[in-house]
Structure 1
């Protein structure tokens, strides 16, 4: 099997899609599966990566981590023909995805498309709901070219089915329980920021409108005083709303760390006590699973793919989306000694069942099934 992967975001960018795709190509390396990655030129790229073809690009306005590429289709076609893939996998409905569709058509190859982002939900946060019908028309056209559409959660599958999408299959997400583990808990976080509060409440993610940071900010500000005296908030991430969130939470017990990766991120997860994630726009929510692998129960919104990860009253609590009062209520409920200990244990047990290798083996099975069907179709049509 030789896979040509087309994406508008990839490592070393820091977002859920790029991290998943890097894990996928690492798995290809481990399994000795041949692959090529076609991506926009990543502005923060410090070195050349093997098997990666990159092209001049500029940020996509709804999601700057996804970049819009400018490339010569003939160049891409030649690179594809030189590689001779057996399947094309497109992961984003932007320019690189379009080049992938074109390549699959020109070379008559099976095409698998994975869906990672609810752009329609993003429109609401950017006050562009007038564009939703046009967006869905384009998305249905884009994904109609695929032999199979892979989605990360049951919630996302139902979301697309309501819009008339077919040929949907779930490609879930895993977590590396050696990288993220309660064993990484130490005193570094508390010592570095001189934290003396009893509980550390953690948010990890992009600081942007689609993450519903308005709810997070109000949750922080309106916690009852007796709870504020026990709680230290730690916000991990960066984005366009960082300065605004800092300004609005001034005077509260909030620490902003910026982007964290690797050992530092894993230790921050494990050294916290509760994960709070108000985003209602997730197709999955990788950070929630990472938190759970680190022994943290999570409080999440009742919309989006996060609802397929958190089991209410067992691995965390589910709050009403966009209602800070509901998040406050659940925080107070969960920061009860016995209940917190129980949910920490259940969260860890759930995460330990989510193996990346098993997830990727299932993906390869999907690829083989699609390739086999494509070959049969070619025979019948010839």
Structure 2
């Protein structure tokens, strides 16, 4: 199999799509599957090697840290013609995804598309609700010729099916349980580093942006009773456009760390006592699974892909979205139940241990092969 991938975000950018695709390319290399990946250039040229093809880009208006590709179509077509892909995978529906889609349809090649982000829900946070119908019209057009649409959760599949999408397949996400592990716990060191004296450590990891409902968490921390607030401290790991505003709003028991990676991030996960993630726009929630692998119970919201991950009363709890008062009540309730937190943390770890990246990526490769064979069989029927 020769595979061409098109994505408008990739490592070293820090988001679920970029990190998942980075893991996928490494898995393809281990399996000996030849591939090219086209992505906007977001780092020095020397950081791209092997199968990665960086494309000139400019910052994207709504997400300045993300890039909008300025593709050289003849150059991309020349590379694809030389490579002769058996299948094309469009991971995003923007400029580079359109390049891949056009090439696949022009040459009648098998092609699949993955759906990673509920952009329709994002639009509400940026006061652009009026263009949601146009968004869905465009997305139905983009997906209509594909041999499969991959979605990361059952909630996302149900959403797409309601919008008229067909040929839907589940492509879930895994977690590295040897990297994200309770063994990385070093609470005393973390507390000393950030000047924390409270006994209970809460954690949020993600982009500090409106669509992550981070304002709901900030309000919940303000609404905690004084006796509860004094017993806990929240670490917010990430960065984004709302950071300056939130810094001026949160109480003194909230610390912003910026983006963290590698062993330092794994240590922060494992050193916390409770993961709090109020986002209602997730198609999956990679950070939730990383927290669970680290032995953390999770307070999430009963919306989006997170509700497929958290088992209420077993691995954590789910609360009503965008309700700071309800979130504050749940934080207060669980803070008073340390033995329950410990039990849910162990169950969360057990759940994560069953989510292997290797098996998930091998399943995706089988879906690739099926798309190629189905397209080939249909072509033979039409010609024979």
Structure 1-normalised TM-score? 0.97
8 Å contact from structure 2 (residues 12, 43) kept in 1? no
Name the structure 2 match of 1:112.
112
- Segments of structure 2 that go 5 or more residues without pairing to the other structure are none
Stretches (4+) displaced over 4 A: 43-46
For 1:152-301, list aligned pairs within 5 A. Answer: 152-186=152-186, 187-249=188-250, 251-301=251-301
TM-score by length of 2: 0.97
Q: Distance in 2 between matches of 1:64 and 1:275?
A: 27
Deviates more, 1:23-32 or 1:43-52: 43-52
| 281-290 or 251-260, which deviates more | 251-260
Corresponding pairs, count = 381
Residue 15 of structure 1 corresponds to 15
Aligned residue in 2 for 1:343? 344
Deviation, structure 1 residue 44: 6.2
Counterparts of 1:101 and 1:330, CA distance in 2: 46
| Cα distance in structure 1, aligned partners of 2:60 and 2:139 | 16
The 2-side partners of 1:27 and 1:96 are apart by: 22
Deviations 1:194-239 (A, max 9, x none): 2221111000000011001220110111111111111011000001
Q: Do the aligned partners of 2:4 and 2:89 also contact (CA within 8 Å) in 1?
A: yes
What SS class does the counterpart of residue 255 from structure 1 fall into? Answer: strand
Q: Which moved more, 1:276-285 or 1:37-46?
A: 37-46
Whole-Å Cα distance in 1 between the matches of residues 35 and 330 of structure 2?
45
Q: Over aligned residue pairs, what C-alpha RMSD do you find? A: 1.2
2: CA distance, partners of 1:209 / 1:162: 26
C-alpha contact (below 8 Å) 1:221/1:252 kept by paired residues? no
State how far apart, in whole Å, the 2-side matches of 1:48 and 1:38 are. Answer: 11
Determine helix, strand or coil for the equivalent of 1:248.
coil
CA deviation string 1:325-380 (max 9, x = no partner):
11112112222122111101111111111000010011011101111001011112
Equivalent residue runs for 1:28-177 within 5 Å? 28-43=28-43, 47-177=47-177
**Distance in 2 (alpha carbons) for counterparts of 1:59 and 1:304:** 27
Distance in 2, Cα, partners of 1:330 & 1:287: 20
Where structure 1 has 5 or more consecutive residues not aligned to the other structure, the ranges are none
CA contact (8 A) 1:114 1:150 kept: yes
Distance in 1, matches of 2:258 and 2:243, equals: 9
1:43 deviates by 4.3
Counterpart-to-counterpart distance in 2, 1:135 and 1:16: 21
Equivalent position of 1:364 in the other structure: 365
* Distance apart, 1:65 and its partner CA: 4.7
Given the superposition, is the C-alpha separation of residues 44 and 218 from structure 1 closer, same or farther in structure 2, using an over 3 Å criterion? farther
Offset, 1:188: 2.2
Query: 1:147-205 deviations in whole A, cap 9, x for unaligned?
Result: 10000000000111111111101000000001100000013211211222111100000
**Cα distance in 2, alignment partners of residues 153 and 44 from structure 1:** 34
Contact 2:201 2:234 in 1 (8 A): yes
- How far did 1:45 drift? 6.2
Q: Residues 86 and 110 of structure 2 are in contact (CA less than 8 Å); yes or no, is this contact kept in structure 1? A: yes
**Residues 160 and 66 (structure 1), Cα distance of their counterparts in 2 relative to 1, 3 Å cut:** farther
Aligned 8 A contact 2:48 2:54 in 1: no
- Separation in 1 of the partners of 2:45 and 2:321? 36
Shift, 1:108, TM fit:
2.0
1:46, CA displacement in angstroms?
5.7
Of the structure 1 ranges 282-291 and 33-42, higher mean CA displacement relative to structure 2 is found in 33-42
Q: State the distance in 1 between where 2:58 and 2:224 align.
A: 41
1: CA distance between counterparts of 2:78 and 2:143?
Answer: 24
Superposition deviation, residue 107 in structure 1: 2.5
Change over 3 Å in CA distance of 1:100–1:184 after alignment to 2: same
Measure, in 2, the Cα distance between the counterparts of 1:45 and 1:309: 38
